[in-house]
């Protein structure tokens, strides 16, 4: 072997680099183990205290030196080691993964100062609609839509705002304005990214990850160890749009609300009787309200005015859902249970009702609820003490443009402080302009309330006691320490240019992550041991041990390279490593089978080994390159865990090639110098497959018919039953819920269908009998942050009877909900498109590689035929069995990863066969084409079956011992390996043979002429 010194040096350097990188992981694990022991000793059995003590211990160790490299040459702190360790994905350690989208359409609206021009609004609507299917960016689509809607329209008239007056004037052309909008939108997205990063950095999460995605306006956020997803959603989705509003007192607006109550009662009564409610006269009369209002006055209103569930005689009205407030000097006009706030909003939005109310009034809900037991302070209405009530505040609009008199852009600083009474509040400072406006506003509203509003919700409504000068003030509101800290964080970070909407959201509980790690490690260890034993049994002790040495080195190099690249190890990533174990054996098998052939040909051991390595090199390169290309396509088009799978697959292919081909060669060179007796078979395997003479070509039509029948059955099932698409492709929400006892999935599905207002719901046993996976499209189109809370509340309500009435909503979400996932419709469409591109480009790349490598289009066509055959059969199996298998067989990103891996594996097998056919055609140019094909295919049977068997053993072990999360993924691989092995012999080669034979015959016929 040439360049042995260079190869030996490279192997030593790679081993040292891998060791250096892995030491950081060892050091951080050591410190974390100490933290766990310290926390358990201090806290006893209280899990909350253990978590707190552990966090405090690790926080104190951040800047402590924990690793001395080369006896103090370089010192590393715990934080520095943490940054260099192997990162576990959220599916392994728990946490939250989100994709947020700052919509360009929202930014464009903000840039126009929310202009209400009809042409402008229609152009926005058309652009949003076309964005779902177009590859062009939103700004381009908006410009085209505006020209289409208003051919003579001028964008300068819309965007000549105060903020853009230096860039857009009345004479600016539409093209000039579009250019300005594009620049401003990009700047706004950059600003949004920086604001989100600042909020996360102040959130206190260890090792957060935030990065921009290729799609304009989309930002990936990963927060490991998060246990309060709602808090994170509130923190990241808020725009920090702070506003200060004047308010109405309750006594000033109570008369109008009484009229509205009477009118809504008449409207609902007429609707109930089938009469057109549009004929109702809004000019209704009620008894004039006395000058002073207090709680006792509300006795005039029927104390049972709130709608009684199940009472068909009750006529619904505004006060059926809104309990009027009896505090005359307060801006709170009523209280409502959380589930009734939307009904109150709908009543107040009725046009006839609005005509009864002052034109300058706005209604906003408080951000925090009060318990039902405190309702007596506000109203005489009786509530369940466990009810959560929200207060409705009457806002007075004093400006011509409907904007508040003071906004948050004047805030220069914000921090959480503790008041003299011990409560938590936010202390703010303003710039000089804001301070002047604040002084005027407070002076004009002494003894009245000013509402402090953030993102449309009232945080507090303090009564002004005197004029406030200097620009310093506080926001109060019965905050917890964490809420005060988060609100100050949001205000300090700055205002978002547009809301950041969550379009994909995955939450994995820490217990489920720990179980996934345990299952992944079990599958890894058992698969590794199985392959090590198999190699010794099949190829003998010495040859088997050398192959095993290559496998061990391969694993060491994979982990070292992962750490060096700071890659994230996910559950599919572990599957990729374990799959690499099976596939890396392929190179050893190819080499050993070649060496056995050379020995059978009468060559000496040294020459047989040298020729075996040389002759196997071409097939190994072709097989690894095609699989690597598949992994590269997965990496380019995949997201999240699929990228992790592709990363480990590509790294594994590279390191396994180096280990199997070069390291084993160095070992054999050393063994040959010792005159060791090396054998590459045992008594059991020496004559296995010897003299095999299967007539593959003669029986090709029979196998084509068998495959044709299987494909037709699969296509028939696809046409009749279709596939069970996951929420990755359809959009929706998914939850894994673990109960204390076994629960029938059908009962859970029925209960949740009622809770989710008849929306599509599917519940299926997931792993154990007490664990259910629930998917639904309920409120999937609603990307407001309140929608997530509503869905989780309804999930809890639907399952309350199974977890017990004594379990609160928060306890249910923390203890029973193991994981959750949300995929919005827009991102689901992107995932579908990327999946289609991935499969298409994998076909193209494979065809082009084989065409270039073999200089024969017939081989490329045969390979594509085999790949199409394998994909169709796998799809058919999933279509036939998804309703009967006890694990998820959804078509999602993981399934696409499995399909592409099957493509790579099938090509791997096919290329080895084609390589031998090409070799035999050169060795036996005068033999019939049929005989050459049969000889070549028979000579590869041992290698093909060996590789398939080792890979199948690995996959079956993963399937049995691995997490239920990847069972569907692994099942697809098992089916794919079986059909891929079959197709490389019985489909790919016969197709190539048919076309080559036709070409030869056509060429011969042409010569005769």
Pairing of strands 87-88, 568-569: parallel
| pLDDT value for 955 | 83
pLDDT higher than threshold 80 for residue 327: yes
| pLDDT value for 713 | 95
Beta bridge partners of 479: 424
| pLDDT value for 190 | 80
How far from the centroid of its chain's Cα atoms is residue 234's Cα? 18
Cα(921)–Cα(941) distance, rounded to whole angstroms? 18
593 or 701: which carries more pLDDT confidence? 701
| pLDDT value for 392 | 94
The radius of gyration computed from the CA coordinates of the chain, to the nearest angstrom, equals 35
Nearest-5° Cα angle at 674, 673 to 676: 115
**φ/ψ (deg, to 5) at 367:** -75, -30
Domain boundaries of the chain, sorted by first residue: 4-83, 104-217, 243-495, 510-720+829-1007, 732-823
Distances in whole angstroms, Cα of residue 64 to Cα of each of 30, 42, 206, 231, 376: 14, 21, 16, 31, 55
Helix (H, G, I), strand (E, B) or coil at 638: coil
pLDDT higher than threshold 90 for residue 474: no
* DSSP state for residue 369 in the 8-state scheme: -
| pLDDT value for 310 | 40
Listed residue (968, 847, 789, 923) closest to 232, CA to CA: 789
User: pLDDT digit string (tens) for 49-80?
Assistant: 776 787 778 878 888 888 888 776 788 988 88
How far from the centroid of its chain's Cα atoms is residue 635's Cα? 15
Nearest-5° Cα angle at 410, 409 to 415: 95
- Determine the average pLDDT of the residues in 584-603: 83
| pLDDT value for 248 | 94
- Highest mean pLDDT among 298-307, 583-592, 728-737 belongs to 728-737
CA atoms within 13 A on the CB side of 976: 28
User: pLDDT digit string (tens) for 831-854?
Assistant: 777 777 777 887 788 778 877 877
pLDDT higher than threshold 50 for residue 883: yes
383's tokens = 């509530």
Helix (H, G, I), strand (E, B) or coil at 287: coil
| pLDDT value for 280 | 54
Contact 826, 99 (CB under 8 A): no
Listed residue (920, 872, 868, 843) closest to 626, CA to CA: 843
Cα(345)–Cα(358) distance, rounded to whole angstroms? 16
The whole-chain average pLDDT of the chain stands at: 82
475's tokens = 């926001």
182's tokens = 């594009």
| pLDDT value for 475 | 74
- Determine the average pLDDT of the residues in 576-585: 70
pLDDT higher than threshold 50 for residue 292: no
User: pLDDT digit string (tens) for 235-286?
Assistant: 777 666 788 899 999 999 999 999 999 999 988 888 777 655 555 555 544 4
Cα(424)–Cα(40) distance, rounded to whole angstroms? 31
Contact 663, 520 (CB under 8 A): no
Q: Which residues of 463-480 are buried (b: 16+ CB within 10 A; e: fewer)?
A: ebeeebeebebebbbebe
User: pLDDT digit string (tens) for 196-217?
Assistant: 777 676 565 656 777 777 666 7
- Determine the average pLDDT of the residues in 950-966: 80
CB-based contacts of 824, cutoff 8 Å, min separation 6: 501, 502, 503, 504, 731, 780, 783
User: pLDDT digit string (tens) for 765-811?
Assistant: 877 788 888 888 888 877 666 777 888 888 998 998 888 888 888 88
| pLDDT value for 281 | 55
Beta bridge partners of 363: 394
Q: H/E/C letters for each residue in 380-417? A: CCCCCCCCEEEEEEEEECCCCCCCCCEEHHHEEEEEEE
Cα(551)–Cα(754) distance, rounded to whole angstroms? 54
Write down the H helix ranges in 273-356: 318-321, 341-348, 351-356
| pLDDT value for 940 | 83
| pLDDT value for 870 | 92
227 or 315: which carries more pLDDT confidence? 315
Cα(253)–Cα(325) distance, rounded to whole angstroms? 11
- Of the candidate ranges 448-452, 494-498, 856-860, the one whose mean pLDDT is the lowest: 494-498
- Of the candidate ranges 545-559, 585-599, 731-745, the one whose mean pLDDT is the lowest: 585-599
Residues found in the chain: 1009
**φ/ψ (deg, to 5) at 609:** -65, -45
What do you get for the CA distance between the two ends of the chain, in Å?
Answer: 52
- Determine the average pLDDT of the residues in 968-975: 87
- Determine the average pLDDT of the residues in 374-403: 83
Q: Which sign does the torsion angle of CA 20, 26, 28, 34 carry?
A: negative
Helix (H, G, I), strand (E, B) or coil at 487: helix
Q: For 358, left (φ over 0), alpha (ψ -120 to 50), or beta?
A: beta
Pairing of strands 74-77, 65-69: antiparallel
Listed residue (939, 942, 910) closest to 924, CA to CA: 939
Listed residue (877, 974, 989, 895) closest to 941, CA to CA: 989
- Highest mean pLDDT among 26-30, 298-302, 490-494 belongs to 26-30
Cα(889)–Cα(899) distance, rounded to whole angstroms? 13
* E-only strand ranges, 151-201: none
pLDDT higher than threshold 90 for residue 396: yes
User: pLDDT digit string (tens) for 672-717?
Assistant: 888 888 888 887 777 766 667 888 899 999 999 999 999 999 999 9
| pLDDT value for 302 | 42
- Determine the average pLDDT of the residues in 323-344: 88
- Determine the average pLDDT of the residues in 218-245: 76
Nearest-5° Cα angle at 472, 469 to 474: 125
Residue % of the chain over a pLDDT of 90? 16
Beta bridge partners of 242: 454
User: pLDDT digit string (tens) for 77-104?
Assistant: 888 888 788 877 776 667 777 888 888 8
Residue % of the chain over a pLDDT of 70? 88
Q: Which long-range contacts (CB under 8 A, 24 or more apart) does 995-998 make?
A: 995/858, 995/861, 995/862, 996/856, 996/858, 996/929, 997/929
| pLDDT value for 304 | 41
CB-based contacts of 420, cutoff 8 Å, min separation 6: none
Q: For 46, left (φ over 0), alpha (ψ -120 to 50), or beta?
A: beta
pLDDT higher than threshold 60 for residue 486: yes
Strand order in the sheet with 209-212: 209-212, 218-224, 95-102, 500-508, 817-823, 732-738, 768-776, 761-766
Residue 991 pLDDT grade (very low, low, confident, very high; cuts 50, 70, 90): very high
Q: If you classify domain 732-823 with CATH, what class do you get?
A: alpha beta
| pLDDT value for 1009 | 56
46's tokens = 């209280």
CATH topology of domain 510-720+829-1007: Multidrug efflux transporter AcrB transmembrane fold (1.20.1640)
Helix (H, G, I), strand (E, B) or coil at 923: helix
CB-based contacts of 53, cutoff 8 Å, min separation 6: 38, 39, 42, 43
- pTM of the full structure: 0.67
CB-based contacts of 299, cutoff 8 Å, min separation 6: 380
CB-based contacts of 923, cutoff 8 Å, min separation 6: none
How many other C-beta atoms are found inside a 10 Å radius of the C-beta of residue 279?
A: 7
- Determine the average pLDDT of the residues in 433-453: 90
Q: If you classify domain 243-495 with CATH, what class do you get?
A: alpha beta
Residue 537 pLDDT grade (very low, low, confident, very high; cuts 50, 70, 90): confident
* E-only strand ranges, 713-815: 732-738, 761-766, 768-776
* DSSP state for residue 207 in the 8-state scheme: S
* DSSP state for residue 659 in the 8-state scheme: I
Contact 333, 394 (CB under 8 A): yes
| pLDDT value for 274 | 64
| pLDDT value for 138 | 87
- Of the candidate ranges 336-340, 492-496, 708-712, the one whose mean pLDDT is the lowest: 492-496
Residue 881 pLDDT grade (very low, low, confident, very high; cuts 50, 70, 90): very high
Residue 303 pLDDT grade (very low, low, confident, very high; cuts 50, 70, 90): very low
pLDDT higher than threshold 60 for residue 634: yes
Residue 522 parent element (H or E) = helix 510-539
Helix (H, G, I), strand (E, B) or coil at 738: strand
Residue 87 parent element (H or E) = strand 87-88
Helix (H, G, I), strand (E, B) or coil at 239: coil
């Amino acid at each position: 072997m040439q360049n042995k010194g260079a190869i030996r040096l490279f192997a030593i350097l790679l081993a040292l680099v891998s060791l250096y990188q892995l030491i950081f992981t060892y050091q951080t694990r050591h410190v974390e183990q100490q933290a766990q022991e310290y926390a358990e000793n201090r806290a006893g059995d209280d899990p909350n205290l253990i978590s707190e003590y552990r966090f405090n211990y690790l926080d104190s160790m951040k800047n402590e030196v924990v690793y001395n490299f080369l006896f103090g040459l370089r010192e590393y702190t715990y934080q520095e080691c943490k940054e260099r360790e192997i990162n576990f994905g959220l599916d392994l350690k728990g946490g939250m993964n989100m994709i947020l989208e700052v919509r360009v359409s929202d930014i464009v609206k903000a840039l126009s100062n929310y202009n209400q021009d009809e042409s402008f609004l229609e152009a926005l609507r058309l652009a949003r609609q076309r964005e779902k299917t177009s590859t062009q960016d939103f700004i381009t689509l908006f410009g085209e839509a505006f020209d289409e809607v208003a051919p003579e329209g001028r964008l300068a008239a819309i965007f000549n705002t105060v903020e853009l007056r230096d860039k857009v004037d009345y004479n600016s052309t539409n093209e000039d304005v579009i250019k300005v909008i594009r620049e401003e939108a990009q700047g706004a997205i950059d600003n949004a990214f920086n604001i989100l990063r600042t909020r996360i950095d102040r959130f206190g999460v260890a090792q957060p990850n935030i990065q921009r995605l290729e799609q304009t306006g989309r930002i990936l956020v990963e927060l490991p160890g998060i246990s309060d997803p709602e808090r994170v959603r509130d923190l990241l989705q808020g725009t920090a749009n702070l506003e200060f509003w004047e308010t109405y007192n309750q006594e000033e607006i109570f008369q109008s609300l009484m009229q509205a109550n009477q009118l809504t009662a008449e409207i609902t009564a007429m609707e109930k009787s089938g009469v057109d409610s549009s004929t109702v006269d809004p000019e209704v009369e009620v008894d004039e309200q006395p000058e002073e209002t207090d709680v006792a006055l509300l006795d005039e209103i029927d104390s049972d005015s709130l709608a009684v569930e199940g009472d068909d005689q009750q006529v619904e009205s505004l006060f059926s859902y809104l309990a009027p407030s009896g505090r005359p000097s307060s801006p709170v006009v009523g209280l409502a249970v959380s589930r009734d706030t939307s009904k109150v909003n709908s009543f107040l939005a009725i046009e006839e009702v609005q005509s009864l109310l002052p034109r300058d009034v706005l209604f906003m809900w408080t951000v925090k609820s009060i318990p039902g037991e405190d309702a007596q302070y506000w109203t005489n209405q009786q509530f369940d003490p466990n009810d959560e009530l929200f207060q409705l505040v009457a806002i007075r609009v004093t400006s011509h443009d409907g904007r508040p008199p003071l906004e948050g852009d004047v805030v220069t600083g914000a921090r959480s402080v503790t008041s003299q009474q011990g409560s938590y509040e936010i202390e703010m400072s303003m710039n000089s302009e804001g301070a002047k406006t604040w002084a005027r506003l407070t002076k004009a509203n002494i003894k009245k309330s000013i509402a402090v509003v953030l993102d449309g919700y009232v945080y507090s409504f303090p009564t002004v006691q005197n004029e406030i000068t200097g620009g310093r003030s506080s926001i109060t509101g019965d905050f917890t320490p964490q809420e005060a800290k988060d609100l100050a964080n949001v205000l300090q970070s700055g205002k978002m240019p547009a809301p950041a909407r969550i379009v994909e959201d995955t939450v994995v509980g820490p217990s489920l992550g720990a179980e996934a790690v345990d299952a992944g490690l079990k599958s890894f260890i058992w698969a590794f041991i199985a392959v090590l034993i198999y190699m010794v049994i099949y190829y003998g002790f010495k040859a088997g041990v050398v192959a095993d040495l290559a496998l061990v080195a391969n694993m060491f190099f994979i982990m070292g390279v992962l750490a060096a690249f700071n890659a994230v190890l996910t559950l599919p990533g572990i599957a990729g490593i374990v799959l690499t174990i099976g596939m890396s054996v392929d190179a050893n098998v190819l080499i050993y089978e070649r060496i056995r052939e050379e020995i059978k040909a009468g060559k000496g051991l040294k020459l047989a080994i040298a020729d075996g390595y040389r002759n196997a090199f071409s097939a190994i390169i072709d097989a690894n390159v095609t699989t690597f290309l598949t992994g590269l396509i997965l990496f380019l088009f995949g997201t999240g865990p699929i990228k992790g799978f592709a990363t480990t697959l590509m790294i594994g292919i590279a390191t396994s090639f180096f280990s199997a081909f070069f390291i084993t060669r160095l070992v054999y060179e050393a063994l040959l110098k010792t005159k060791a007796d090396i054998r590459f078979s045992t008594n059991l395997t020496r004559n296995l497959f010897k003299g095999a003479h299967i007539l593959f070509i003669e029986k090709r039509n029979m196998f084509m018919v068998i495959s044709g029948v299987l494909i037709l059955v699969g296509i028939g099932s696809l046409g009749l039953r279709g596939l069970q698409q996951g929420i990755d492709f359809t959009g929706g929400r998914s939850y894994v819920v673990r109960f204390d006892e076994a629960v029938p999935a059908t009962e859970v599905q029925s209960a949740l269908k009622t809770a989710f207002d008849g929306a599509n719901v599917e519940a299926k046993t997931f792993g154990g009998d007490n664990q259910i996976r629930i998917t639904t499209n309920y409120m999937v189109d609603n990307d407001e942050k309140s929608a997530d809370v509503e869905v989780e509340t309804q999930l809890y309500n639907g399952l309350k009877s199974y977890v017990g009435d004594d379990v609160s909503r928060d306890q249910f979400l923390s203890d029973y909900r193991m994981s959750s996932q949300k995929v919005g419709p827009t991102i689901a469409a992107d995932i579908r498109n990327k999946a289609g591109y991935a499969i298409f480009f994998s076909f193209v790349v494979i065809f082009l590689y084989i065409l270039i490598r073999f200089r024969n289009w017939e081989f490329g066509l045969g390979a594509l035929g085999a790949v199409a055959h394998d994909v169709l059969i796998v799809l058919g199996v999933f279509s036939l069995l998804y309703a009967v298998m006890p694990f998820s067989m959804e078509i999602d990103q993981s399934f696409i990863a499995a399909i592409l891996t099957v493509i790579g594996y099938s090509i791997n097998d096919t290329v080895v066969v084609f390589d031998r056919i090409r070799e035999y055609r050169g060795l036996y140019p005068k033999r019939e084409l049929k005989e050459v094909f049969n000889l070549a295919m028979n000579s590869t049977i041992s290698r093909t079956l060996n590789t398939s068997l080792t890979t199948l053993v690995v996959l079956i072990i993963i399937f049995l011992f691995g997490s239920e999360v990847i069972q569907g993924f692994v099942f697809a691989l098992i089916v794919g390996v079986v059909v891929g092995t079959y197709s490389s012999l019985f489909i790919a080669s016969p197709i190539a043979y048919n076309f080559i034979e036709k070409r030869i015959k056509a060429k011969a016929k042409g010569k005769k002429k």
